[in-house]
Structure 1
Amino acid sequence: MGSLKKMILIRIFILGLVCTGVGNFSRAKTPSIAFKIDRLEDTMLQEVAEGDFRIMVAGEPLDRLTGAEFTALREQELKLQNQKPGDAESERKLNALLIAMARIADEPTLIYLHELFESYPERRNDIAEAISWYAEENKRRDADWRILVRSLNIIEGDQAKTVMRALTRFRRRSNKAQWIRQVILVGLEQDAEGQEIADSLLTHWTGQKFKLEIDSAHPLMQQWQDWFVSKYPDELSAVLPIESADSRWKYKELLAELQQQKKSTLDLKLGAQAFVKATCIKCHRFGEQGEKVGPDLTYVSRRFQQKEVLHATLFPSHFVSEEYPTFTIVTDAGKSFTGMMGAAGPDEIMLLTEAGKRQLIKKQEVDEIIASKKSAMPDGLLNLVTKAEAIQLIRYLGTLPEGASDKYRHKLP
């Protein structure tokens, strides 16, 4: 069989899986999961199909919870959550339990999952996957759609396929450039099957359709990238970040180390020192330390995953928050200054520059103010610290500083 013909048949097969739903929620083969639910008689969590988990009572699926059953499942979930960090078996069981709880599909359980999503950023991937399972067979609610869309910033691998596939089943569509861009970015890191799913979701949202041409010089996701630039010329391009050649540390290297460090003791002192050494303190507030020019990082651990904080530190211009826009000011004398605008006198504009300096510019000298796609946060800040300091800095920001109230963490039912 010719290589081109073989490639076409493979693509047709993958497209068939996406369209028919065969192989939905596929994942790498792992040993099946089954364990008893504490405090409930004759109650087990079982894997009824690959990646699909149910709470079984006397061999029958549990489809509605009593108060006692809900309490027992919550306690089981908390028990697994409090296992030693990095315990792979406990993490698999916890993921399975969340999916099984979503499959019960009653209101108290769904409320609980939503509050977990808001309160525990590090668990959002698993919760988004669980809610995707619920949306597969039940009423598709706007609240669930919002959760799944927000998870696009963090999901990857098979969980990304699960979430994107679920989003194609909602009637609601996103017309926001940032979410369309994020689907393209997720698709760029997917295999052929995942790219087909991303393509289906993008078509569902935008109505745009590209032909699947095997011999095209422009692969599927590249066509979406080109379309995005044309459709949204003022937005950040849908391209994956490129690490600078002079970057001391690579994202994947630090991320792997960060995940490994979950099992070790946090060094708060080293993290606090790195907060100063990496010059974060010049622009950011963390507890009682630092300036309030840039985003306050006191509660960053309650809003973002540690890997998101690491990514934003290494690639500050990959996503620029609408809350902290950057501008370039050109003066009559032809000088240009770039940074975030801050409070100043009635006749002046203050810019916080990349170097963390406050630049005062008289309004009468301003010739033009241009919105910038580049963050005021400079690249290469982690070049100033050792690998150990970089890891402890991210872990340090993953804590609540002394005296900070836990206002972002919901009081769970």
Structure 2
Amino acid sequence: MGGTKGVNLEAVQGKLVTQFQTMMGSQRPRDEIADATMRETARLLCSMDVADATPLLVQTMNASKELEAGLHYALCLRYMKSGWDFHSRLQVLNWYETTRDWEGGNSLQGYVRNVVAGICEGLSPDDRKEMLTQWQQRPHATRLLLSISTPDNVKDFDQVVGNLLGDMEKMPGHASLQEMVSLTIEALGKSDSDASRATLRKLFDTYPDRREQLARQLCNHPDEDCWPQLVKALSFGDGTTMQQCLKALTAVDRKPEAADDFRAAILAGLKLNDQGGMLAADLLQIWTGAEHHAGKDLNRAIAFYQGWFQGRFPQAAPAVLPQIDIEKTRYGLDQLVKFLDQDPKGQAGDPVKGKAIFTKANCIKCHRFNNEGEGIGPDLTTVRRRFQRKEIVESLLTPSQVISDQYKSVTVFTKAGLVHSGMPVPNTGNNDAVVLLLSDATRITIPKSEIEELVPAKVSVMPEGLLKELNLDDIADLFAFIETSKQNEEPAQRAAK
């Protein structure tokens, strides 16, 4: 038999590239046959991984007016390994940005996402850094990059992601950014570097409305540095967050000393009940060194640690879930949180009216807000940068549930048999008397010579029922005013100016 001559593959590839360029440059409208020929040529170029074809396919993809055609060339590019540079992949992300409004259901969007994610696999750490710093030009593509990138994939990962989140937090009114903020936080959570974890802790302390998610990311690599944040999250977290924090805390070699930390774990167990409450019992067994001997009986286990708590901290408020007396408060916790978070009326309050309500309710007799009010109770100037809205609601409905050591009340027993409870007023200039702030915001002065005993009180001086006389519109206005505290400077910063 006679031999056959070998095929000159480079020549074939060159002819295909030339043919594709000719079809691209044709001024004549393409019919179905021409379109099919062009697509099949693209497939051949892709199967042979012809480097010179990559920029041509990118150009054709971007020029395609029909969804199906653009997606065809994107799919071809998904399997191209050669011929890529930074500009070419950037053009793919520019194209992907235009697909976010494509109609076709989640399956189409997911398909397009997977195709582009495959193309992005070849991005270098420097490329990813550059693209993420340009996030405002391509927010849709940035969400994709964040979801598929790991710390090793991005140069200067901690710095890039930290800056990204800082930029986005300056634009809180953009609802479309919420998913990207979440993805950025998740990206930080992927890293076990000290810088990433320090950023997460700082964000936890700075952005109360994101604390559940931040706490869950800290749970990925629990250590002693994040211990305070994980314990704090037990007081307000949702069920998933509380469970993850309880489990993470068992892996940290640190035990609490303060009553509030033990109480937080006990209350977490009570809140979770049979939906993860035994995690609290497991943690308390480690923290206290005392076995509950209750097996899987959660009620017995928690009751055991409630008894232990009362014996260890007899002056502390008992570790029981708050009981809201609707007759005193008029509103329930879930009712108000749902109203403020989900009801349009709850989010449409007038801060000017809210300030008037804040004053009328005697809040300024105990609290400072900017340059107004008394500094006896906690300064509320930046309260929404320190607490979630639901925490503030809870403190108004059940003020004795959590009381800072700095603002704990005392009960004074006089030699004449009188009993007064209130918060000591500091720096009164009278060293021979104790001045108490009472629950009605008035003060009483008691000479020390008349005092028989002074003991810590378990009840806050802040009265229950502060919201009872307010209707829902008033409450929306009040919280609209409180919400302005997010923009206020810290009192220390203002004083330094």
2:156 paired with 1:67: yes
Secondary structure in structure 2 of the residue aligned to 1:63 = helix
> Take 2:251 and 2:431, find their aligned partners in 1: how far apart are those partners?
52
2:478 paired with 1:393: yes
* Aligned partner (choices 365, 370, 376) of residue 287 of structure 1: 370
Pair 1:374–1:68, CA change in 2 (3 A): closer
Q: Which residue of 2 aligns with 1:317?
A: 400
| Deviation of 1:253 (Å) | 0.4
Q: How many residues align?
A: 362
1:2-401 aligned within 5 A = 39-40=131-132, 55-57=147-149, 61-63=150-152, 65-67=154-156, 70-71=159-160, 74-75=163-164, 78-79=167-168, 82=171, 84=173, 91=178, 94-135=181-222, 140=223, 142-213=224-295, 218-246=299-327, 247-260=329-342, 264-342=347-425, 343-400=428-485
| Deviation of 1:363 (Å) | 2.1
Pair 1:406–1:74, CA change in 2 (3 A): farther
Pair 1:212–1:54, CA change in 2 (3 A): farther
Pair 1:80–1:301, CA change in 2 (3 A): closer
Pair 1:169–1:403, CA change in 2 (3 A): closer
| Deviation of 1:185 (Å) | 0.5
The one-letter code matched in structure 1 to 2:317 is L
Q: Deviations over 1:229-262 (max 9, x none)?
A: 2332221111011011412111110011111258
Pair 1:180–1:401, CA change in 2 (3 A): closer
More helix by share: 2
When the two chains are superposed, the root-mean-square deviation of aligned CA atoms in Å is: 3.4
Which range moved further: 31-40 or 341-350? Answer: 31-40
> Take 1:397 and 1:339, find their aligned partners in 2: how far apart are those partners?
25
Pair 1:408–1:252, CA change in 2 (3 A): farther
Secondary structure in structure 1 of the residue aligned to 2:277 = helix
Which range moved further: 318-327 or 337-346? Answer: 337-346
> Take 1:338 and 1:326, find their aligned partners in 2: how far apart are those partners?
7
For normalisation by structure 2, the TM-score amounts to: 0.65
> In 2, are the aligned partners of 1:225 and 1:238 still within 8 Å (CA)?
yes
> Take 1:69 and 1:356, find their aligned partners in 2: how far apart are those partners?
48
Which range moved further: 282-291 or 307-316? Answer: 282-291
More strand by share: 1
For the pair shown, the structure with the greater C-alpha radius of gyration is: 2
Q: Deviations over 1:375-402 (max 9, x none)?
A: 1111111112222222332342232388
Pair 1:218–1:72, CA change in 2 (3 A): closer
The one-letter code matched in structure 2 to 1:345 is N
Pair 1:62–1:278, CA change in 2 (3 A): same
> In 2, are the aligned partners of 1:80 and 1:93 still within 8 Å (CA)?
no
Among the aligned pairs, what percent are the same residue? 28
For normalisation by structure 1, the TM-score amounts to: 0.77
Unpaired segments ≥5 residues, structure 1: 1-30, 47-52
The one-letter code matched in structure 1 to 2:148 is M
| Deviation of 1:55 (Å) | 4.6
Secondary structure in structure 1 of the residue aligned to 2:152 = coil
The one-letter code matched in structure 2 to 1:200 is D
Relative contact order (C-alpha < 8 Å, sep 6+): which is higher? Answer: 1
| Deviation of 1:316 (Å) | 0.8
| Deviation of 1:358 (Å) | 1.0
| Deviation of 1:373 (Å) | 1.0
> Take 2:193 and 2:276, find their aligned partners in 1: how far apart are those partners?
30
Pair 1:174–1:316, CA change in 2 (3 A): same
> Take 1:396 and 1:351, find their aligned partners in 2: how far apart are those partners?
28
Which range moved further: 400-409 or 62-71? Answer: 400-409
The one-letter code matched in structure 2 to 1:113 is L
> In 1, are the aligned partners of 2:233 and 2:241 still within 8 Å (CA)?
no
Unpaired segments ≥5 residues, structure 2: 1-106, 118-127, 135-139
